[in-house]
Amino acid sequence: METMLQRPPAIIGQREDEVDTPALLLDLDAFEYNLDRMAQLVAGTGVRLRPHAKTHKSPVIAQLQIALGAVGQCVQKVGEAEALVWGGVRDVFVSNEVVGTAKLARFAALAKIANVAICADSDAHVVAIEAAAADATVRVPVYVEIDAGAGRCGIEPGERAALLARRIAQSQHLTFGGLQAYNGSAQHQRRPQERAAAIETAADAVRRTIDALERLDLRCPVVTGGGTGTFEYEIASGVYTEIQPGSYCFMDADYARNLDANGKPVSTFRQSLFVLSTVMSVPRAGTAVLDAGHKAVTIDSGLPLLWQRPELAYVDASDEHGALSYAPDAQAPRLGEKIRLVPGHCDPTVDRHDWYVGVRNGRVECLWPIPARGAMH
């Protein structure tokens, strides 16, 4: 996979302002702070941390999280699972439904060399996973995904979910792994009361399903869910045994709009991920153009923000250009000047890059490849 990568935009030891652009910059102090902070928040709760790797797509970052106590990783795609397992990660949960014989064969092949698990929300999924596991002569845990309130994937909680679990438990090559109960749309509800209420609804759905499982004499080994916006509520619910936050290691402009109980932006984690860009044109007063458009920093959750440059605004993104505007009395950006952008949405922005450029105290300290970049299959 390394042969597919672009050349790194930096060399170790360089100053940050010498890094080629656009580059995906990781502020190592802030990043390490975030990993430590999450480890502290989870410690002593009895709940296990299984971070979501769809954010970072990197076995290096997975291993750092695991060294701080995470039990493994979540992914959405078999290709992401492959990149992690081939990079030495031993425990990977595909927190998603997967359809297609070739994909499931690749998933089952991983079960020979690592602990892997997967989700289902229908009988047809279970039949297909059972066939793939039988072909590979492996036995894999399958989680029942319930609709935890977001109205995306997930079987109806309660009786129907329990019957699906029984079907899994009775399959020769499968074990019932537990319940996947993730509410994605709750993560970016701005007010904490809204996020708490959404997770209360999710926890109720889990409780109803556990009751229905008990009526079928089935034990639920794991209840997993929760992201960066809500994990504290899943921990407090008393029903979740595992959380799966992803964005917390980087953060982004969208998460920066979530509010805490005092109406202030949530400050649990620090912004550690940036896209470094260069001012490539200063065509007229009040306008400057950066070399980072939406091929370098995604705009699905809003335009990027400028880091610690309140006088500048990123106002328009095209493929390879980002237009900045600034007040006539502000100091004009200089041609060639390097500017840090805060991505609107961290996960898809990472997916646009081949390398993390890790910086500390203004110097490049490490270069980490992003082998699961583009791993959408």
Ligand X SMILES: *Cc1c(COP(=O)(O)O)cnc(C)c1O
54 vs 340, which CB is nearer to ligand X?
54
Q: Where are the beta strands (DSSP E) in the chain?
A: 23-27, 48-49, 73-75, 91-94, 115-120, 140-145, 174-180, 223-225, 242-243, 273-284, 287-290, 305-306, 312-317, 322-326, 338-342, 355-360, 363-369
Q: Determine if 187 is a binding residue for ligand X (CB under 6 A).
A: yes
Nearer to ligand X, 58 or 95 (CB): 95
User: Closest residue (Cβ) to ligand X?
Assistant: 227
Work out the burial of residue 270: count CB atoms within 10 Å of its CB; fewer than 13 is exposed, 13-18 middle, 19 or more buried.
Answer: middle
Other CB atoms within a 10 A radius of the CB of residue 30 amount to: 18
Task: Find the binder of ligand X among 50, 54, 77, 345 (CB under 6 A).
Answer: 54
Binding residues for ligand X, rule CB under 6 A, total: 16
Nearer residue to ligand X within complex by CB, 9 or 348: 348
User: Could you tell me the smallest distance in angstroms from the CB atom of residue 243 to ligand X?
Assistant: 8
Start-end of H helices in 68-191: 78-86, 101-110, 123-136, 159-169
Work out how close the CB of 162 gets to ligand X at its nearest, in angstroms, rounded to a whole number.
21
Q: Which of residues 55-74 bind ligand X (CB under 6 A)?
A: 55, 74
Angle at alpha carbon of residue 209, lines to 206 and 211, rounded to 5°: 110
Considering only residues 58, 171, 209, 228, which one is a binding residue for ligand X as defined by CB under 6 A?
228
Footprint of ligand X on 230-249 (CB under 6 A): 244-247
Which residue, 34 or 277, is less far from ligand X as judged by CB? 34
Q: How far is the CB of 292 from ligand X (least distance, A)?
A: 22
Percent helix / strand / coil, the chain, rounded to 5? 30, 25, 45
Residue for token pair 């609107």: 344
- Using rule CB under 6 A, residue 227 touches ligand X: yes
x-or-dash string of contact with ligand X, 93-112, rule CB under 6 A? --x-----------------
Q: Is 79 near ligand X (CB under 6 A)? A: no
Placement of tokens 């949960």 in the chain = 93
- Judged by beta carbon, residue 173 or residue 345, the one nearer ligand X is 345
Member of 107, 143, 176, 182 binding ligand X (CB under 6 A): 182
Rg (CA), the chain: 22
Q: How far apart are CA 275 and CA 79, in angstroms?
A: 25
Binding site for ligand X (CB under 6 A): 52, 54-55, 74, 76, 95, 182, 184, 187, 227-229, 244-247
